[in-house]
Structure 1
Amino acid sequence: MCNPHVGGPRHHEQMTERGPSTTNRSTTRTGGPEPELSDPRVPATPHGRLGVAGGTALYIAAVLGTGILVLPALAAAAAGPGAILAVAALALISVPLASTFAALARRHPDAGGVATFARRAFGPDAARVIGYWFFFGTPIGAPIAALMTARYVVAVIGGDALSTTLIAIGLMVIPVIVTAFGVRFAASVQLVLSGALVAVLIFVLAAAAPHARPENLEPLLPHGWAGVGLAMSLYIWAFAGWEAVAGIGGEFRNPRRDIPRATALALVIVSVAYLAIQAVTVVVLGGKAATSDVPLLDLVRVATGDGGGVVVAVIAAIVVTGVFNAYLAAFSKLGAAMGRDGDLPAWFGRGVENGAVARRGLLLSAVVMALYSVVVLASGDLQPFILVHTSIAAAVYGLGVASALRLLPARSLGWWMALISCVLAAGLLVLAGWHLVFPAVAAVVALGVGALSRSRRRRSGRPAGADPA
């Protein structure tokens, strides 16, 4: 998938379906300015009004999500103190991954996000595959995130299984309403929420740190390196998100300047936060961390007693609202872009323009979330669904960074980051193991839709791109 020599010094012809009047252009690999793709379905439109602060808030929300609520315990169960090594490794892996998607988004700020990158690099079939992975696969994380949060809230205020389910549903509905007002409004809300989240986390970690016991770091690898690998696979859930916000690149006031800045700020904040949370969880809770359902709540109880539950409930509510704000903004825009590009019925294409509100794409993503919610809430066991989600995220990363090798100027900083990311993405795919059957099935469906669409066009005599899938 990842061939660093693709294109070389020659121009790579864009592989995309075009109407009869569309000309074919090349993408330069010499390090100079890259021509825009000549595709009438990806028009040049004015950018939005999102600044560095709002963009950073959405990036933090997408990545520093509900993983802080449960993953420190799941990772501790998998690797013991070695979970700290797993988090540190993924923080390092995130540098080239985040840099790659930032480089792509600043050069191609389009609502299609990763689907647009794949279309420009490999053509419409690849775009449809990665679009289906992200739009129809990633939303399985929504009920997982909501259920994680609901369990925290119930642990604080009390309640039964029905209460947990109702709270989880409510946590998914409210952000849908917020996103219906547009990306800029969601970013404004998220700026406040992200600031509050960071402040509360600093308070919790500072209060719990004095209770650390160094002996809890031994043995470092009770389950060997295989345990660290499993913890890394689980933490992909936490560090996924860089590809999600690529779809809102066009909403930035100045994408070429602001996207790298927002990415860098968010990367530092997220990496430090996850590493600190995992380390404090291990050294304070010790062996109890592996059996905890609410590790953050346990940290607060160690530091402040039973009176700190409200703090955790506040953290949980902020976290899940932020995650949904970021992802629903990306889902709605991607749904509109897929409608524009023929990968969904054209009716969903409304709102694809930068600054517009893609409410029809939002509606479809809400329906997809609802369907997954029925399955996840009925099961209640989160780990299998987390691994499905992370396998889809690994697949999206793999095709996304492969696209970067074709689209970014050869031997530029972004290109080198993409090359490193290809190796890292291959490792994430290996960690995903048999769970890759889920993105494989989604890919087959996407390719089948593409074949059916082409067959319809041939029968009707319409040119490529004239009929929605």
Structure 2
Amino acid sequence: MPGLQRITSSLLRTKPVEQLTSDGEHTALRRSMGLIPLIALSVGATLGTGIFVVLGEAAPLAGPAVVVSFVIAALAALFSALSYAELASAVPVSGSAYSYTYATLGEIIAWVCGWCLLLEYGVSVAAVAVGWGSYLNEFLGSTLGWRIPDVLAQPPGDGGVVNLPAAVVVLLATVVLLGGIRESARVTTVTTMIKIAVLIFFVCVAVSAFDSSHLHPFSPYGVSGIGAAASMVFFSFIGFDAASTAGEEAKNPQRDLPRAIIISLGIVTLVYVLVALTAVGAVGVDAVSSSGASLATVLEQVTGRGWPATILAGGAVIAIASVVLTVLYGQTRILVAMSRDGLMPAVLSRVGRTRVPTVNTLIVGGVVAVLSALVPLGELVNATNIGTLVSFGLVNIGVLVLRRTKPDLPRSFRTLVPVVPVIGVAMCGWLLIHLPGVTWLAFTLWSAVGLVVYFGYGRRRSVLGKAGATEMVTPEVHS
């Protein structure tokens, strides 16, 4: 069956690591980011709506054991982060997991991964923007005594017609990105420091009212409740891989990308666990769950005054806006990589006067603005999680494959193989099975659309296919 074999070969052709590296070395993007901006990029993309808003939605699922849910989600992220770090040091290019799977698992798998990343980044930006609107209203109410009416601050299904603040923050972030990566990095670094300071302020105030009785019963809904909450709060850790999308704009990617990924995850995990523990300990699960702007509500109840909540809400407005900026950045760089490979239209990788992909950024910003204005937060969170977990699982598998097919490839960071990738895959699978059925249905439909796009457009225009490259997934196995 030569025809079937030829089709299979084309679907499983891998892009040589040397070619990926060459693409990164001859990039039209500007290399201007050192270790600190890369850490700020990852922390900035991660530390935001997850803890400011999703804590309030996850707490009812697990009770006080939501703290354990954060730890489980952090462990799942850690194992994947270690795999990301190795691949980022070996294949330092834009595209993140998409580029890594193209080098290890084949074109069709890379497409699926890239399509999942589009879901992860695009939908998570929309989810973050929706959360931003809640804190903006909290801030406006405490300072001006006025709130944006629900009809203009909530999406259809949540009591409104359009979430105008969510769309506005996406469009503002788009404008900043169009100004250039150096300017965007400066904004990200400053806003990341502000958000860390605000959360430290929260912990210091909340711990003063800590009452251990609020932690009993600790796990009223058992393991299933902890698992369901972990699947939801995993959203809080999405973004640590943002540094890997900056492989072509980092000054020293082999050295700095692995460090940025691991350091940023450590910072985020510590902050999340402290915030979740002090929030629940201070006011109890019910109070944490009572408001869209849950952390601001906790401070108001703890102090009996409005100014701490105002500080928290104001900091959250800045902090969450920075997440929109950094995740939107990651989305555009993944599209650059897919476009350069011919799987997406060439216009998406065209770089403008400010050395950024201008048309790409405008399209992504416009689509995400519409999405954030019209879709409720809960649906966005679950859709983001499933896309992320699938792509993380593929990255873990990619580490195993690349160790077998390219054992001598220079790597500035090596994780423990096969232990770390195997555990990473297992934990991603465990979290996946706890996602609701409607999320799986939506993901199935999204994947089907993606395959139609690939076979209708990407496969015929693949640069690798046109070059006649048919390197298989396992061209040579080394022991």
TM range (shorter): 0.7 to 0.9
1:226 to 219, 224, 227: 224
Conserved 8 A contact 2:65-2:218? yes
Q: Which runs of 5+ in 2 are unaligned?
A: 1-9, 142-146, 154-162, 409-413, 469-479
Alignment CA distance shift 1:41-1:90 (3 Å): same
Residue in 1 that maps onto 2:258: 260
In 2: Cα distance, 1:454 partner to 1:94 partner:
30
Shift of 1:242: 2.9
Q: Does 1:444 align with 2:441?
A: no
- What is the letter of the counterpart of residue 161 of structure 1? D
Shift of 1:454: 7.3
Alignment CA distance shift 1:414-1:465 (3 Å): farther
Alignment CA distance shift 1:466-1:350 (3 Å): farther
Residue in 1 that maps onto 2:475: none
Alpha-carbon deviations, 1:310-339, whole Å to 9, x = none? 312222222222212211211111122221
Conserved 8 A contact 2:43-2:192? yes
Q: Does 1:101 align with 2:84?
A: yes
* SS in structure 1 at match of 2:435: helix
Shift of 1:304: 6.1
TM-score normalised according to structure 1 size = 0.84
* SS in structure 1 at match of 2:48: coil
- What is the letter of the counterpart of residue 419 of structure 1? V
- What is the letter of the counterpart of residue 391 of structure 1? I
Q: Does 1:464 align with 2:465?
A: yes
Shift of 1:215: 0.3
Residue in 2 that maps onto 1:155: 138
Q: Which runs of 5+ in 1 are unaligned?
A: 1-12, 19-24, 26-35
Conserved 8 A contact 2:58-2:232? yes
Residue in 2 that maps onto 1:205: 203
Conserved 8 A contact 2:337-2:349? yes
In 1: Cα distance, 2:189 partner to 2:459 partner:
47
1:394 to 380, 389, 395: 389
Residue in 2 that maps onto 1:59: 42
* SS in structure 1 at match of 2:25: coil
Query: For the aligned residues, what is the CA RMSD?
Result: 2.9
Conserved 8 A contact 1:233-1:432? yes
In 2: Cα distance, 1:274 partner to 1:39 partner:
36
Shift of 1:265: 2.1
Residue in 2 that maps onto 1:362: 361
Residue in 2 that maps onto 1:16: 13
TM-score normalised according to structure 2 size = 0.83
- What is the letter of the counterpart of residue 349 of structure 1? S
In 1: Cα distance, 2:210 partner to 2:182 partner:
41
* SS in structure 2 at match of 1:351: coil
Conserved 8 A contact 1:392-1:439? yes
Q: How does 1:398-417 map to 2 (within 5 A)?
A: 398-408=393-403, 412-413=414-415, 415-416=417-418, 417=420
- What is the letter of the counterpart of residue 38 of structure 2? G
Residue in 2 that maps onto 1:430: 433
In 1: Cα distance, 2:324 partner to 2:205 partner:
29
In 2: Cα distance, 1:425 partner to 1:203 partner:
33
Conserved 8 A contact 1:281-1:299? yes
Bigger Cα displacement from structure 2, 165-174 vs 72-81: 165-174
In 1: Cα distance, 2:139 partner to 2:324 partner:
22
In 2: Cα distance, 1:325 partner to 1:278 partner:
25
Conserved 8 A contact 1:336-1:351? no
What percentage of residue pairs aligned between the two structures are identical? 25
Alpha-carbon deviations, 1:373-411, whole Å to 9, x = none? 3431xxxx4223311221111112122222222124669
What is the aligned length?
Answer: 431
Q: How does 1:170-209 map to 2 (within 5 A)?
A: 170-209=168-207
Alignment CA distance shift 1:290-1:228 (3 Å): same
Residue in 2 that maps onto 1:28: none
Q: Does 1:44 align with 2:41?
A: no
Conserved 8 A contact 1:15-1:121? no
Residue in 1 that maps onto 2:472: none
Alignment CA distance shift 1:368-1:466 (3 Å): farther
- What is the letter of the counterpart of residue 78 of structure 1? L
Conserved 8 A contact 1:401-1:421? yes
Alignment CA distance shift 1:366-1:98 (3 Å): same
Shift of 1:198: 1.0
Residue in 2 that maps onto 1:166: 164
Alpha-carbon deviations, 1:238-284, whole Å to 9, x = none? 01123343211221111111112222321221001100111011111
In 1: Cα distance, 2:32 partner to 2:95 partner:
18
Bigger Cα displacement from structure 2, 177-186 vs 428-437: 428-437
Bigger Cα displacement from structure 2, 165-174 vs 274-283: 165-174
Bigger Cα displacement from structure 2, 150-159 vs 248-257: 150-159
Alignment CA distance shift 1:213-1:73 (3 Å): same
Conserved 8 A contact 1:237-1:389? yes
In 2: Cα distance, 1:299 partner to 1:238 partner:
19
Alpha-carbon deviations, 1:99-143, whole Å to 9, x = none? 111221121121222111111112221222221221245312223
